[in-house]
Amino acid sequence: MQWSLEQIRLFVSVAEGQSFSAAARRLNRVQSAVSSAIALLEADLGVRLFERSSGRQPRLTAAGAALLEEAREVLRQCERLEGRALGLVRGEEARLRLAQDEAMPYQPVLDSLEALARRFPLLEVQLASGAQGEVARKLLERRADLGLLFHHEQMPAALERQRLGAIEMVTVCGVGHPLAAAGPVDRRELARHRQLLMAPQDSHYPGGEQISPAVWRTDSFYAMAELLMRNLGWAWLPRHVVQYPTYRSQLVELRSDWTPPPLVVELVCRRDEPLGPAANWLAGCFAEHLQAIG
């Protein structure tokens, strides 16, 4: 087929305006050139697009009506191609691969991604979630461009990090656990019961201090919440995890004489791969939404 984008543009214009002359004026063409281009398009496609009667407006044939939306999509795809190319010329990323800790508060993440879609509509985004340590591994192995994770001391030297905000930690147990009915609990009382901690032992996450001699470990705050619901111990969890609908009625927040400092949320990337415009903009958006929930 030898049809051109110009012919497709003329076809859509005539169909929407129901007039060859109106399409010619809108596109700064002579009417005969428009009529000729449509005739050549019909010949290339092998179908008649318009019914033409003397003195009457052109009407789409059944074939023309069927192909009109396809023609519009061709033009939309051309606009996307031009927009993507312009973004690349300006230095914008074609794709952004975001990896996040699975326990990251979902509302700031979703709000930020929604805003990103409006600001960079042609950007391809790939979102992955994982337990502790997986985000950093994805960045180190170049399987992610940007990471959202909770601060811990043993960050690989190849990664650059930026503080975005903080999330409150609370002391919790299951509703059937003995501590649930104990009222205010001190450090000595907590030490009498099994403690759930993040793994591995050298993770250096806030709340990683071992108080009880009996300890279970997991690499996921959500896995920890599941164990708490079965009254298998007590733990420090991010408040937003405790408030998750599945856990809200099954976990009890304890009044204690000591709670860990807030979890610091960090944006992380490889030191040898500076962030592009979309990633930098997203970082600011994350920080804004995290502060809103704080």
Looking at the structure, do residues 149 and 194 belong to the same domain, yes or no? no
Looking at the structure, do residues 59 and 108 belong to the same domain, yes or no? no
pLDDT computed for residue 212 by the predictor: 92
Indicate the residue among 54, 89, 124 that finishes a domain. 89
> What does the alpha-carbon distance between residue 265 and residue 150 come to, in Å, rounded to a whole number?
5
Sheet holding 159-167, edge to edge: 124-130, 95-101, 146-150, 263-270, 159-167
> What does the alpha-carbon distance between residue 163 and residue 109 come to, in Å, rounded to a whole number?
15
Indicate the residue among 65, 89, 113 that finishes a domain. 89
pLDDT computed for residue 132 by the predictor: 67
| Count of C-beta atoms within a 10 Å radius of residue 165 | 20
pLDDT tens digits, one per residue of 121-151: 888 999 998 876 788 889 989 899 999 988 8
Looking at the structure, do residues 161 and 271 belong to the same domain, yes or no? yes
Query: For residue 166, what are the contacts with CB-CB under 8 A and spacing of at least 6?
Result: 262, 263, 264, 265, 290, 294
pLDDT computed for residue 207 by the predictor: 56
CATH of the domain at 268: 3.40.190.10
pLDDT tens digits, one per residue of 66-81: 899 998 888 888 877 7
Looking at the structure, do residues 176 and 196 belong to the same domain, yes or no? yes
pLDDT computed for residue 177 by the predictor: 95
> What does the alpha-carbon distance between residue 141 and residue 149 come to, in Å, rounded to a whole number?
16
> What does the alpha-carbon distance between residue 177 and residue 224 come to, in Å, rounded to a whole number?
14
> What does the alpha-carbon distance between residue 182 and residue 188 come to, in Å, rounded to a whole number?
13
Task: Count the domains in the chain.
Answer: 3
Query: For residue 104, what are the contacts with CB-CB under 8 A and spacing of at least 6?
Result: 129, 148, 149, 265
> What does the alpha-carbon distance between residue 14 and residue 242 come to, in Å, rounded to a whole number?
59
- Domain region containing 144: 95-166+264-293
User: Which among 75, 76, 48, 73 is positioned nearest to 63, based on CA atoms?
Assistant: 48
Q: In the Cβ-directed half-sphere of 270, how many Cα atoms lie within 13 Å?
A: 14
pLDDT computed for residue 194 by the predictor: 96
Looking at the structure, do residues 61 and 194 belong to the same domain, yes or no? no
Looking at the structure, do residues 145 and 274 belong to the same domain, yes or no? yes
Task: Extract the tokens encoding 47.
Answer: 């179908």
Query: For residue 148, what are the contacts with CB-CB under 8 A and spacing of at least 6?
Result: 98, 99, 100, 101, 104, 109, 135, 164, 265, 266, 267, 268, 286
Low-confidence residues of the chain: pLDDT under 50: 201
> What does the alpha-carbon distance between residue 95 and residue 146 come to, in Å, rounded to a whole number?
11
Looking at the structure, do residues 257 and 179 belong to the same domain, yes or no? yes
Looking at the structure, do residues 255 and 269 belong to the same domain, yes or no? no
Looking at the structure, do residues 250 and 289 belong to the same domain, yes or no? no
